[in-house]
Amino acid sequence: MMRPREAGVTAAGVTVAGVTEAGVTALPDHVRQRIAEADCIIAASRFHADLPDGKEILDWPTPFSNIFNLLDDLSDKSLVLLTTGDPMWFGAGASLVGRLGREGCEIVPAVSGLQLAAAHLGWPLAACRIVSVHGRPAGHLHSALYPRARLLVIAQDGSSPAILAKALCDWGYGAAQIHVMAHLGGPEEVCFSGTAAGWQHDQVPDFHIIGIACGTDMPAIGVAAPDDSFRNDGKLTKRDARASALAKLAPFPQAVLWDIGSGSGAVSIDFLRAAPGATAHAIDRNDDQHVMAIENADHHGVAGFNTVTADLASDPQAVCAALPDPDAVFIGGGMSSAVIELAQARLRAGGVLVAHAVTIESESLLVSAWHSTGGDLMRLSVQHADPVGGFHGWRPLMPVTQWVWHKPPQQQHQGGA
């Protein structure tokens, strides 16, 4: 049973309904009644022919973010917005609910193309990784790849399969199987298959889902990406120390990271690879470092990487005032007592601060903070076997002093007599 429409940005009500390939005429009776009563309908042009005459009918705006200006302009009208499949599954629904509130619009889902694609391939949907390159860089697929992965990809348009096939080859996944499923569930349903290396279908229908099956002999990156996968000028948290830091930073979905003295961005990028939907704010005073960091983020296919060019030595509070409170903070450079105190103050309750020092001066700051506020202080020492003449010996990297501090969680108040 549908709940009554409530007032949101549009006082007369907003209904967001999903449509399958069967079209508008196959919608449930109560949704078609909403359409009949609506003052204005926003829908993709392919649905317009099946909509009632005499209605104000608009296309979805480009870019999508313009929808909110449109809603404001139509605030005195009742609206129906037609989307594809389930509006809350990589659709417009999440953004609209975020703006209008749960009571500000009603959501009516249909079977999504992703569900139909998984059923067509015989893949359990719960075991598939969902990736969207619709309105997003194709490189975002990179961070989702791993041996035996089953990926369902929301495409941008008919050129997406060829673009992704080339990218898969560039990333060492040329043997991956690609399945393109267009207009699933409709009379124009058509499918194409092939390997990334042998892909020959340059153009397919715009509306489709891409299934990608990765083989067993394909590379996996792991928790910390190899050092040589990052462009850098030597200011790089090396892989072993980075893996230790990431273990303490504890990435999780939607988390917020401050990466202070971010350099090449390696810590932020590995954090984002491990935390879907997370955001990393890379803070560094050097624009050249940010240029390399952005290239590295693009290469690794991560989303949510933001750069902040600033010198924290002057006024760290002012620099970070506009940033959201972090769930985790990594300090790899720009160390000072003021920066440490700011990070501790702004961390959410239960958050974690990890700081690395390789100089005596920076180490003294960590020791002082450890004495005054506690935490775990340790030293990381890594040595690699290298040739020494005709033999081999251990060549040490500079030792890293690591300090880990957890902000106490808020006390839970229990009710009672």
Mean pLDDT value across the chain? 91
CA atoms within 13 A on the CB side of 247: 9
Query: In this predicted structure, what is the pLDDT of residue 65?
Result: 84
Asked if residues 176 and 196 have their Cβ atoms less than 8 Å apart, the reply is yes
Q: What would the pLDDT profile of 92-130 be if each residue is shown by its tens digit? A: 888 899 888 888 888 999 999 999 999 999 999 999 999
The structure's pTM equals 0.84
Tokens, residue 215: 């083989």
Judged on CB neighbours under 10 Å (0-12, 13-18, 19+), 143 is buried
Q: Which domains can be identified in the chain, with CATH numbers?
A: 14-111 (3.40.1010.10), 114-213 (3.30.950.10), 227-406 (3.40.50.150)
Residue 416's pLDDT band (cuts 50, 70, 90) = low
Instruction: State which amino acid sits at residue 38.
Output: A
Q: Is the pLDDT of residue 56 over 90?
A: yes
Angle (CA) 366-368-374 rounded to 5° is 80
Helices 337-346, 360-373: crossing angle, 10 deg rounding: 40
Q: Which two tokens stand for residue 67?
A: 């929808």
122 Rama class: left (phi>0) / alpha (psi -120 to 50) / beta: left
pLDDT > 90: percent of the chain: 75
pLDDT tens by residue, 352-376 = 999 999 999 999 999 999 999 999 9
Q: Are 241 and 398 in contact (CB under 8 A)?
A: no
Beta bridge partner(s), residue 380: 400
Most confident range, picked from 216-220, 380-384, 413-417: 380-384
Q: Label residue 248 exposed, middle or buried (CB < 10 Å: 0-12, 13-18, 19+).
A: middle
Go through 20-53 and write b for each residue having 16 or more CB atoms within 10 A of its CB, e for each that does not: bbeebeebeeebbebbeebebbbbeeebeeebee
pLDDT surpassing 50 at residue 333: yes
Confidence (pLDDT) at 187:
87
Q: How far is CA 347 from CA 112, 270, 334, in A?
A: 39, 20, 18
